[in-house]
Amino acid sequence: MTDATTMLQQLGFSEYEARAYVALLQRNPLNGYELAKLSRLPRANIFAVLQKLEERGAIVRLDQLNGMRYAPIAPTELTQRVATRFQQTLNNDVLAVRTRQRLQVDLAGWYIQHSMALTAGLNELRSRPDQELAPETQALLQAVDIGDRRGGWLDHLRALVRWGTA
């Protein structure tokens, strides 16, 4: 596998998508059969790969007199599109939690604290289910007021561990 295909896979492309895109960079425009042959991809998969590459905006379809052909967009443009999509995704996720409403801020903070405390407890119990929790984990659970004062939370965490491994 070439460095280019490896890099494309790190950006979320499948192996077949990466190989097809790299092949189109080497020679284009190509029809599906030619691309399958050049990229050494199964002909049965090539049109699904081409459709995915089109959806990603990595290639363009050219309707020519001798049939449908495909050409890649420039690598610099592709990396810019990937970066833009990634940034838009991050911005959308951040905008979903940005607020000045105190109740929502408190609720989100409570949720994060409790999730971290429960995750720590569950992870520790998975590794040693029949032992007491480490003092650090007990302190974390007590800090978010779900400590084992009544015995219920530790039993509940152990039940979750047993259920998850059953």
**Residue 68 domain-assigned?**
yes
**Structure confidence at residue 113 (pLDDT):** 78
Same domain, 52 and 113: no
C-alpha dihedral (23, 28, 30, 34), degrees to nearest 10: -40
For residue 143, what are the contacts with CB-CB under 8 A and spacing of at least 6? 113, 117
Same domain, 67 and 17: yes
| Domain of residue 63, CATH code | 1.10.10.10
**Residue 94 domain-assigned?**
no
Quote the number of domains for the chain: 2
**Residue 92 domain-assigned?**
no
**Structure confidence at residue 8 (pLDDT):** 93
Domain membership of residue 135 as a residue range: 102-165
H or E segment and range at residue 71: strand 67-72
* This prediction's pTM: 0.56
Same domain, 63 and 21: yes
**Structure confidence at residue 154 (pLDDT):** 64
Tens-digit pLDDT profile for the chain (166 aa)?
Answer: 569 999 999 888 999 999 999 999 999 999 999 999 999 999 999 999 999 999 999 999 999 999 999 999 999 999 999 888 888 877 775 557 567 787 787 787 778 877 777 777 777 776 666 667 777 777 776 676 654 445 556 666 666 666 665 4
**Structure confidence at residue 91 (pLDDT):** 74
**Structure confidence at residue 166 (pLDDT):** 41
**Structure confidence at residue 116 (pLDDT):** 77
Sign of the four-CA dihedral 148, 151, 157, 161: positive
**Structure confidence at residue 60 (pLDDT):** 97
Does residue 29 contact residue 64 with C-beta atoms inside 8 Å?
yes
